[in-house]
């Protein structure tokens, strides 16, 4: 088949790679000048397990409130009706999860199932030692209070059922594994995840793009898709009068997806949630984190990528695209609070703001759209890198009309 993919981020590139391996003629369109220039430019790089990455799913952290001082969600003045509807549904989903923490919740299970499946697929792809992805094994979730540990019980139930090893540590044990961890910081307990994995998402996307090109995938950059075909499947680019014909189109366009699909009668229950990362060079490696570290109460991740540490956090809804100074300051503070002296926060620091498309239940929208020839792979939230391999392969399976390697129940658009 002649297939178009809209979006050259981590999801779009993984989908292109899987479809090209099946022998399809694939063309990827992206409005930027290169791959991984949008939400995939400088994200955390957290891969697995997905559920212990902040903002992975509703109900696992402080429930978002409207301008509550305790909430980690920053509410702007430009909230739309769709934003308010999403916020209500996110809160409702969280209440259901917190109401029965001992139950296995389908959305949480789907998120982790996709991350584990993606990890299995990556093991073969990243076996080539020449590929430097700045991979790091292991992660630690820092808990300031007993209440924080209680909030995580639904996720821990899913991880236990999936066979993911999680070790609860006391503060002394945590500092033994992470010697650079501040002795002054308040710590109730920590969760150690030996099988966790992080990597540089942008490096992976760029290398995956080159691999896809070797398989024959065509890339068209600086090309904003302004319209999708209705009578005949295809894409129309801004500045062009005609439609570029394709037998199928896969929408992986992140924040632009909802606008593209709305004229076709498809209303996605998604929002654009802003977030920030700050990447700082190492100062004293012995004082820096050895692996990924999560401050669960503050919903901030610290991930070691080569000779740098990336702090990520923040969740903005209905705000401008400008950097929010207090949100960035919290990331700087997290670097110095947990690992004093480990980073150089005043030299060579790169601050970035990105937006991720999030569904009310935290799981992506994957599969047929209900319209002939139009497929969806979007709404991955904070776990685009974690789910990319699995989502790309599953979509290729569905297009080929073969049994997918994973149960896709609860991932289609019809669940909303």
Q: What is the pLDDT of residues 36-56, one digit of tens each?
A: 999 999 999 999 999 999 999
Task: Tell me the C-alpha distance between 221 and 26, whole Å.
Answer: 14
Q: Quote the Cα angle for 239-242-248, to 5°.
A: 110
Q: List pLDDT tens digits, range 338-388.
A: 999 888 877 789 999 999 999 999 999 999 999 999 999 999 999 999 999
Residue 131's pLDDT is what? 63
What pLDDT is recorded for position 236? 97
State yes or no: pLDDT of 71 exceeds 90.
Answer: no
- The C-alpha atoms of residue 257 and residue 39 are separated, in whole angstroms, by 13
**Alpha carbon distance 142, 30 (integer Å):** 38
Q: What is the C-alpha to C-alpha distance for residues 379 and 258, in angstroms, rounded to an integer? A: 10
CA dist., res. 134 & res. 121, Å (int):
18
Cβ atoms 168, 275 nearer than 8 A: no
Note the pLDDT of residue 100: 84
Q: Is the pLDDT of residue 311 over 60?
A: yes
DSSP β-ladder status, 234-237 and 244-245: antiparallel
Candidates 277, 247, 279, 251; CA nearest to 266 is 251
pLDDT of residue 57: 87
Q: Which range scores top for mean pLDDT: 1-10, 60-69, 407-416?
A: 1-10
Q: What is the pLDDT of residue 67?
A: 45
25 cis-preceded (ω within 30 degrees of 0): no
pLDDT band at 68 (very low <50, low <70, confident <90, very high): very low
pTM (predicted TM-score): 0.94
Pairing mode, strands 271-281 and 292-295: unpaired
**Cα separation of 115 and 109, whole Å?**
10
Tokens matching residue 65: 């409130």
Scanning the structure block, which residue is given the tokens 């024959």? 216
Helix (H, G, I), strand (E, B) or coil at 244: strand
CA dist., res. 277 & res. 350, Å (int):
8
Burial 342-354 (b: 16+ CB within 10 A, else e): bbbbeeebebbbb
Model pLDDT, residue 416: 85
pLDDT score for 128: 60
195 within 8 A of 165, measured Cβ to Cβ: yes
Q: For residue range 73-116, list pLDDT tens digits in order.
A: 888 888 889 899 999 999 999 888 888 888 878 889 999 999 99
Query: Residue 7 has what DSSP assignment?
Result: -
In Å, what is the CA distance from 37 to each residue of 30, 47, 211, 253?
9, 19, 18, 12
- At 127, the pLDDT band (50, 70, 90 cuts) reads low
Q: Are the C-beta atoms of residues 311 and 300 closer than 8 Å to each other?
A: yes
Q: Cα separation of 413 and 79, whole Å?
A: 23
> Is the pLDDT confidence value at 66 over 50?
no
Nearest to 38 by CA among 274, 363, 369: 274
Q: How far apart are the first and last CA of the chain?
A: 30
Site of tokens 């997918």? 404
Residue among 50, 90, 63, 273 at smallest CA distance from 151: 63
Which carries the bigger pLDDT value, residue 231 or residue 197?
Answer: 197
Q: Are 343 and 291 in contact (CB under 8 A)?
A: no
With cut-offs at 50, 70 and 90, classify the pLDDT of residue 130: low
pLDDT tens digits along 166-212: 999 999 999 999 999 999 999 999 999 999 999 999 999 999 999 99
- Going by the DSSP 8-state scheme, the letter that residue 343 receives in this structure is B
Q: Does 144 score more than 90 pLDDT?
A: yes
Q: Quick one: which of 364, 315, 366 has its CA closest to 55?
A: 315
Domains recognised in the chain with CATH numbers? 2-41+203-268+361-415 (3.50.50.60), 50-105+135-198+271-358 (3.30.9.10)
Q: Please, what is the average pLDDT of the chain?
A: 91
* Contact (CB, 8 A) for 413 and 266: yes
Strands of the 244-245 sheet, one edge to the other: 225-228, 234-237, 244-245
pLDDT digits (tens, 9 = 90+) for 264-281: 999 899 999 999 999 999
């Amino acid at each position: 088949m002649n297939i178009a993919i809209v979006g050259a981020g981590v999801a779009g590139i993984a989908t292109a790679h899987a479809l090209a391996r099946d022998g399809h003629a694939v063309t990827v369109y992206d409005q930027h000048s290169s791959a991984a220039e949008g939400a995939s430019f400088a994200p955390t790089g957290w891969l697995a397990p997905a559920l212990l990455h902040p903002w992975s799913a509703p109900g696992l952290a402080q429930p978002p409130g409207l301008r509550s001082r305790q909430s980690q969600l920053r509410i702007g003045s430009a909230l739309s009706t769709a934003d308010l509807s999403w916020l209500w549904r996110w809160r409702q989903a969280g209440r259901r999860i917190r109401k029965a923490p001992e139950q296995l919740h389908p959305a949480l299970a789907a998120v982790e199932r996709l991350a584990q499946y993606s990890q299995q697929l990556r093991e073969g792809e990243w076996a080539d030692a020449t590929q430097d992805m700045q991979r790091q094994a292991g992660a630690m979730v820092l808990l300031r209070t007993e209440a924080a540990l209680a909030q995580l019980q639904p996720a821990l139930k899913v991880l236990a059922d999936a066979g993911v090893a999680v070790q609860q540590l006391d503060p002394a044990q945590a500092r033994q594994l992470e010697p650079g961890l501040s002795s002054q910081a308040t710590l109730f307990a920590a969760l150690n995840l030996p099988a966790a994995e992080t990597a540089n998402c942008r490096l992976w996307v760029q290398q995956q793009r080159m691999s896809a090109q070797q398989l024959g995938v065509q890339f068209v950059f600086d090309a904003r898709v302004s319209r999708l075909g209705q009578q005949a499947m295809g894409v129309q680019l801004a500045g062009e009068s005609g439609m570029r014909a394709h037998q199928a189109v896969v929408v992986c366009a992140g924040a632009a997806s909802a606008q593209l699909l709305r004229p076709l009668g498809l209303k996605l229950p998604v929002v654009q949630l802003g977030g920030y990362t700050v990447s700082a060079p190492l100062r004293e490696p012995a004082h820096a984190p050895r692996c990924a570290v999560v401050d669960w109460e503050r919903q901030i991740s610290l991930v070691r990528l080569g000779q740098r540490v990336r702090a990520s956090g923040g969740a903005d809804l209905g705000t401008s695209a400008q950097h929010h100074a207090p949100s960035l300051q919290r990331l700087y503070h997290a670097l110095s609070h947990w690992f004093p002296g480990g980073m150089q926060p005043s030299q060579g620091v790169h601050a970035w703001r990105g937006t991720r498309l999030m569904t009310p239940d935290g799981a992506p929208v994957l599969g047929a759209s209900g319209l002939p020839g139009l497929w969806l792979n979007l709404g991955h939230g904070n776990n685009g890198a974690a789910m990319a391999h699995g989502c790309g392969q599953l979509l290729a399976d569905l297009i080929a009309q073969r049994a997918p390697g994973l149960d896709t129940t609860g991932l289609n658009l019809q669940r909303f």
